[in-house]
Structure 1
Amino acid sequence: MKRRTLLATALLPGLATALLPGLARAQAPAWPDRPVRIIIPFPAGGPTDVAVRLLAEALGRQLPQRVLVENRPGAGSLLGTEVVAKGPRDGSVFLTATVAHAVNPALYARLPYDPERDFRGVGLIGTVPLLVVVPQSSPVKDLPDLLVMLRERPGGHDYGSAGNGSAQHIGAELLKSMAGVQANHIPYRGNPTALTDLAAGRLAFVIESMATTLPQVRGGTLRALAVTAPARVKLAPEVPAVAETLPGYSAWTWNAILAPSGVPEEAVTGMSAAMNAVLPGLVPRLEGLGLDPKPGLSPAEVDGFIAAESAKWQGLMRAAGIRAD
């Protein structure tokens, strides 16, 4: 066949002009032509890490190249995010983003990257609802009870979080703002210590991920008052949503895959299509991690989701004066 093509192009220059562009396209490597890396800007072992590794394993079966996961923690997700922002733009490196990506512009005076200019959406693994929890020994039985207690002693109760600007912190600040109550924020260096102090009665309440708190609720250490998703969730249908008491309330973190701006379009659309192909098969395992999976979103829809999250949380944080520790 090759000999016939060469003979034809030698005898018919017009035919050569028509054939050669198609031959060049056929020989050009399709995405991905090398292993793909997904950078997680957080330590290994957490729910985000587990969810992304499940996704990467499934993507490795869907794509013709390996999909590798690399943890690059540090500086509240800034280090790993900067690595991707300033890394190769050939479609070989992607970023795992959470709500931290949306709040960091308000949290820090300066960032080593521009979240809007330097990244574009690819896919959304899912949202991660949180639970409003109190100690099992607390007299508070439901969310209205908690709000009454906070109104009776403005500023007389403490709540904990994993740190300034964390999903737990901003979720509680939104609750306070919408309910018109006061409570003192106690930032901790990690969730376990805050939950230990909560169980011991040293905090009035905590808002924390379902993956972390639901086992303690089921074990009888903590009591769940409400879930921060817009409606009740499948993992704990008996727990009312905050929105049942405060209409319009919603707060969560989320796990999204982003690409650095300037990557080839085929890398963005290819990764998006591959994610949407494998996510439905991961739904039961992701739900077990406390995620509400969101397969089927286009890159443009992911961009719109993150833009809305950024506007919502940055406005709240600036109004409340929330800055980095």
Structure 2
Amino acid sequence: MHRRSLLAAAAILPASSVRAQPAWPNQPIRLIVPFAAGGPTDIPARLFAEEVSKLLPQRVVVENRTGAGVVVGTEAVATAPKDGHTLLYSTIAHSVLRPLFPRLAFDPVGDFQPVALLGVIPMILLVNKDLPAKTLQEAVALFRGKSGEFDYGSSGVGGAVHLATELLLKRAGNLKVNHIPYRGSAAGMPDLLSGRLAMFMDVAAGGLTYAKRGDARALGISSAERLPQAPDIPTFAEGGVANAESYTWHMVFAPAGTPAPVVEQINAAFNKAAAQTGVQQRLTDLTMLVRHDTTPETARRWLMDEITKWETIIQDAGIKVE
């Protein structure tokens, strides 16, 4: 009777309760980066891979999978085994996949488990140094008074720079400034410096380089607070444009359905790596505001808030990827 009772109890328990999960990790971990090697996303990803490898019995190996923006690399993780041995290292690009690529073969939300938000990088608004505007308020007034007469550049359609600029223009009163996309910020900056463009938003590390050299004028930063590396540059809110906060951010994802205990272990490993003093210093040099205490739940909330914000901006601005 006792044996039959035990068998009956086992029959109604979830399979995961009866069969112990294999130890994680039991093989090398692939960290898929859907961006080119050596770029601003790849560099932090490799730093995290190196540090997390020191904390685990298996190595974390970065694999760059580019193509169709971030679609190819992201899809590779969506269809990977749900065992925690294939992870995605992505950015704000993940939050705009659905509106920009409506025919995806995967669901950017339903097919992924956010694991940890590792850091955020604000952007700096640069204007040509000869533009008759010394502050963000003056620039807003100038663009409003000469609607549609000025151009701004971005690093590409639907990218973080493009979206952040459209958000700023909307929050400043639906200003009309013409968008000129380039293949990366470096390609567009010469036109800003020469006066062909009136303004160009750039990630903080890049924007600070031009501002500190005096090649362009920095009017504001997209973070909630001033950046320690640039305490003299006011936030957009301080410049008179509220609710224009924006970042490019770095997050680790696992395939949806990865066992919760494994997700928690991955989260703990990346948080511990992010808390290392050496890691924080290297990421701070890249103007990243490091996070080392996020949970899978807070990461998901961040992602969903970003999706809501950017889907609205994409729709209102009529942004389409050709």
2:251 partner SS: strand
2: CA distance, partners of 1:212 / 1:86: 35
2: CA distance, partners of 1:260 / 1:95: 8
2:41 partner SS: helix
After superposition, what is the alpha-carbon deviation per residue over 1:89-144, rounded to whole angstroms, capped at 9, x for unaligned?
22100001211111121112311210111001101110110000012333322211
Q: 1:188 aligns with which of 173, 182, 188?
A: 182
Residues 174, 34 of structure 1: alpha-carbon distance in 2 compared, 3 angstrom cutoff: same
Correspondence 1:251 to 2:255: no
The equivalent residue for 2:14 is none
2:48 partner SS: helix
The equivalent residue for 1:205 is 199
The within-5 A match list for 1:156-305 is 156-180=149-173, 181-244=175-238, 245-281=240-276, 282-305=279-302
Correspondence 1:149 to 2:146: no
Q: TM-score, normalised by structure 1?
A: 0.89
2: CA distance, partners of 1:41 / 1:104: 13
The within-5 A match list for 1:85-164 is 85-164=78-157
Residues 155, 92 of structure 1: alpha-carbon distance in 2 compared, 3 angstrom cutoff: same
Q: TM-score, normalised by structure 2?
A: 0.90
2:38 partner SS: coil
Q: Single out whichever of 164-173 and 134-143 deviates more from structure 2.
A: 134-143
Does the 8 Å contact 2:30/2:85 carry over to 1? yes
| Aligned partner letter, 1:297 | T
1: CA distance, partners of 2:69 / 2:25: 30
2: CA distance, partners of 1:235 / 1:256: 23
Does the 8 Å contact 2:125/2:207 carry over to 1? no
Q: Single out whichever of 214-223 and 299-308 deviates more from structure 2.
A: 214-223
Residues 173, 28 of structure 1: alpha-carbon distance in 2 compared, 3 angstrom cutoff: closer
- The number of equivalent residue pairs is 304
Distance apart, 1:165 and its partner CA = 1.0
After superposition, what is the alpha-carbon deviation per residue over 1:227-274, rounded to whole angstroms, capped at 9, x for unaligned?
001221222111100011112220111010000111122221111001
Gapped runs of 5+ residues in structure 1? 1-12, 18-24
2: CA distance, partners of 1:132 / 1:39: 31
The equivalent residue for 2:318 is 321
Correspondence 1:60 to 2:53: yes
Q: Single out whichever of 101-110 and 198-207 deviates more from structure 2.
A: 101-110
Does the 8 Å contact 2:171/2:243 carry over to 1? no
Calculate percent identity across the aligned residue pairs: 39
2: CA distance, partners of 1:321 / 1:104: 15
1: CA distance, partners of 2:129 / 2:38: 27
Q: CA RMSD in A?
A: 1.9
After superposition, what is the alpha-carbon deviation per residue over 1:266-292, rounded to whole angstroms, capped at 9, x for unaligned?
221111001111211121111111211
Does the 8 Å contact 2:31/2:88 carry over to 1? yes
Correspondence 1:45 to 2:42: no
Q: 1:76 aligns with which of 43, 47, 69?
A: 69
1: CA distance, partners of 2:140 / 2:29: 48
Does the 8 Å contact 2:113/2:255 carry over to 1? yes
The equivalent residue for 1:3 is none
Gapped runs of 5+ residues in structure 2? 8-17
Q: Which has the higher helix share?
A: 1
| Aligned partner letter, 2:127 | V
| Aligned partner letter, 1:160 | G
2:69 partner SS: helix
Does the 8 Å contact 2:113/2:258 carry over to 1? no
After superposition, what is the alpha-carbon deviation per residue over 1:202-233, rounded to whole angstroms, capped at 9, x for unaligned?
10001110122212221221221100012212
Bigger radius of gyration? 1
2: CA distance, partners of 1:237 / 1:280: 24
2: CA distance, partners of 1:109 / 1:33: 36
Q: Single out whichever of 147-156 and 107-116 deviates more from structure 2.
A: 107-116
| Aligned partner letter, 2:302 | F
